[in-house]
């Protein structure tokens, strides 16, 4: 593990004041509003780098700040995350001076966010150090990166697997290197300027093929357009890879993977990557949905399980029956494979007891990740064996 970046006193001051700020209801949206107001007041030209609607951007910025603060005592994880974020931000045309302006605006907003504590010179010095590290790490990573800021790709297939879920296959102009399990930001022609994160469902390959599984979020800006409006021939833009979900092959520990809905994508990519290797740890994949019909990729998973003895696939659905309007009967479980279990996925996995001896990955919506973490912990699985992507 890397040496600590901040000394104990700095960490104590930042933690205490962070707690004080977070005690105010809606503190995070106040902070974000104040951040953008300060940033655009000092640098009106920067407004052009941001989309008209700042909601998703704000949510992502706050999640990133929270992630950094939560991981401030794990420098490796924090610096990797910030470096990836800096490389990803090159797609907006963000330069070093923009990071510096962002750092000043953030500090100014933090100064006005305390509820009961005072913003003293020592608190100011502690936060200046943390904010300086955040923007400095992002700017350095951005300057040092030699790979392109983004890749362009052509849609070659769009399969509406469910009425609210599409599988989109693309060919990237130049193959893009990423690790199976990472995610990327994507911009589609129907929603210019709005970037969203999606996880490739297949490993990187020399042919530049990439596949995304996208579920429509009701009243979302981008996902309904991907599911309903995407056409073969559309040109998508894909940002630099992010994330660190990965199986540690040297850990000598078996693997537990828990996926809900399209959260399957990054786990599927890793399983496919492992299938190309000779020896692997045992992998238990629990794959869940609300209804049996939501287990949209079971047949691929069954094929993988039948040809890879180290892989066990356990389907889980919250309801035992599909809704009445569903016309497709559930697929027959192949002989020898697991029958579907019934219940909320976190609870089902935790009903087997502690999984403390595994390396665990959870992938799904933020609420599913949180409830699954809670259920695992209650059944004796320590949080430090569990990984998941930041809950943007
Ligand atoms: C690391 C990461 C990887 C991801 N990978 C995938 C993937 O492979 N496939 C996939 O389909 N999605 C994935 N997502 C979610 C995706 O990035 C978008 O958030 C989602 O498609 C909604 O975008 P939107 O523009 O339609 O909705 P927005 O316009 O951004 O949001 C509209 C409203 O819906 C809410 N909302 C956003 N997402 C959800 C959700 N999942 N459930 C419930 N409410 C939501 C928002 O809070 C907002 O109130 C991933 C997210 C992250 C952080």
Residue 159 confidence (pLDDT): 98
Residue 391 confidence (pLDDT): 79
Residue nearest to atom 53 of ligand 1 (CA): 392
**Core vs surface per residue 275-289: b (16+ CB within 10 A) or e:** eeeeebbebbbbbbb
Q: Determine if residue 380 is left, alpha or beta; phi over 0 gives left, psi from -120 to 50 gives alpha, anything else beta.
A: left
CATH class (in words) of the domain with range 150-239: mainly beta
Instruction: Please work out, in degrees rounded to the nearest 5, the angle formed at the alpha carbon of residue 176 by the alpha carbons of 210 and 222.
Output: 55
Residue 139 confidence (pLDDT): 96
Interatomic CA distance for residues 182 and 265, integer angstroms: 10
Question: Within a 10 A sphere around the Cβ of 238, how many other Cβ atoms?
Answer: 24
CB 251 within 8 A of CB 97: no
DSSP letter for 361, please: E
Residue nearest to atom 38 of ligand 1 (CA): 217
Helix (H) / strand (E) containing 225: helix 223-229
Domains 8-144 and 255-387 share a fold: no
Which of these CATH numbers, 2.60.40.1180, 3.55.40.20, 3.40.50.12780, 3.40.50.80, describes 255-387?
Answer: 3.40.50.80
Helix (H) / strand (E) containing 384: none
Interatomic CA distance for residues 326 and 163, integer angstroms: 10
List of the chain residues with pLDDT < 70: 1-2
Tens of pLDDT, residues 35-75? 999 999 999 998 888 878 787 777 777 777 778 877 877 88
May I ask the CATH architecture of the domain 8-144? Answer: Orthogonal Bundle (1.10)
For the CA of 365, the nearest atom of ligand 1: 41
Residue nearest to atom 9 of ligand 1 (CA): 214
List, in order, residues 6 or more apart from 53 with CB less than 8 Å away.
194, 221
Question: Within a 10 A sphere around the Cβ of 339, how many other Cβ atoms?
Answer: 8
Distance 384 CA to ligand 1 centre (A): 26
Distance 63 CA to ligand 1 centre (A): 13
Q: Report residue 99 CA to chain centroid gap.
A: 23
Domains of the chain by residue range: 8-144, 150-239, 255-387
Interatomic CA distance for residues 70 and 251, integer angstroms: 24
Residue 1 confidence (pLDDT): 56
Percentages (nearest 5) of helix, strand, coil residues in the chain: 45, 20, 40
For the CA of 198, the nearest atom of ligand 1: 5
User: β-pairing, 311-317 with 283-289?
Assistant: parallel
Distance 354 CA to ligand 1 centre (A): 30
């Amino acid at each position: 593990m890397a040496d600590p970046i901040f000394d104990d006193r700095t960490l104590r001051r930042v933690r205490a004041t962070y707690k004080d700020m977070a005690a105010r209801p809606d503190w995070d949206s106040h902070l974000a509003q104040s951040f953008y107001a300060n940033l655009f007041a000092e640098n009106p030209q920067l407004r052009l780098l941001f989309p008209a609607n700042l909601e998703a951007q704000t949510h992502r910025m706050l999640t990133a700040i929270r992630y950094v603060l939560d991981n401030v005592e794990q420098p490796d994880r924090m610096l990797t995350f910030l470096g990836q974020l800096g490389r990803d931000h090159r797609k907006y045309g963000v330069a070093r001076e923009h990071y510096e302006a962002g750092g000043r605006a953030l500090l100014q907003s933090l100064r006005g966010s305390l509820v009961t504590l005072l913003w003293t010179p020592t608190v100011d010095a502690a936060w200046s150090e943390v904010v300086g590290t955040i923007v400095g790490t992002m700017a350095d990573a951005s300057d040092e990166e030699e790979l392109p800021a983004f890749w362009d790709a052509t849609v070659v297939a769009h399969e509406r697997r469910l009425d609210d879920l599409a599988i989109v296959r693309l060919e990237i102009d130049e193959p893009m290197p990423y690790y199976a399990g990472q995610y990327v930001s994507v911009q589609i022609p129907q929603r210019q300027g709005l970037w969203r994160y999606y996880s490739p469902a297949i490993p990187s390959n020399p042919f530049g093929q990439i596949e995304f599984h996208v579920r429509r979020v009701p009243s979302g800006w981008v996902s309904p357009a991907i599911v309903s409006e995407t056409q073969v021939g559309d040109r998508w833009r894909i940002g630099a890879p992010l994330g660190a979900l990965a199986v540690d092959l040297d850990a000598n520990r078996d693997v537990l993977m828990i996926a809900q809905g399209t959260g399957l994508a990054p786990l599927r990519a890793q399983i496919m990557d492992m299938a190309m290797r000779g020896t692997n740890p045992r992998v238990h994949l629990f794959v869940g949905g609300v209804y049996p019909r939501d287990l949209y990729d079971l047949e691929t998973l069954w094929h993988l399980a039948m040809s890879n003895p180290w892989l066990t696939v356990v389907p889980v659905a919250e309801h035992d029956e599909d809704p009445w309007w569903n016309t497709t009967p559930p697929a027959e479980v192949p002989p020898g494979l697991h029958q579907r279990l019934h219940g909320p996925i976190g609870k089902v996995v935790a009903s087997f007891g502690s999984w403390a001896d595994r390396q665990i990955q959870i992938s799904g919506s933020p609420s599913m990740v949180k409830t699954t973490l809670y259920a695992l912990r209650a059944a004796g699985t320590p949080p430090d064996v569990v990984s998941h992507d930041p809950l943007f």
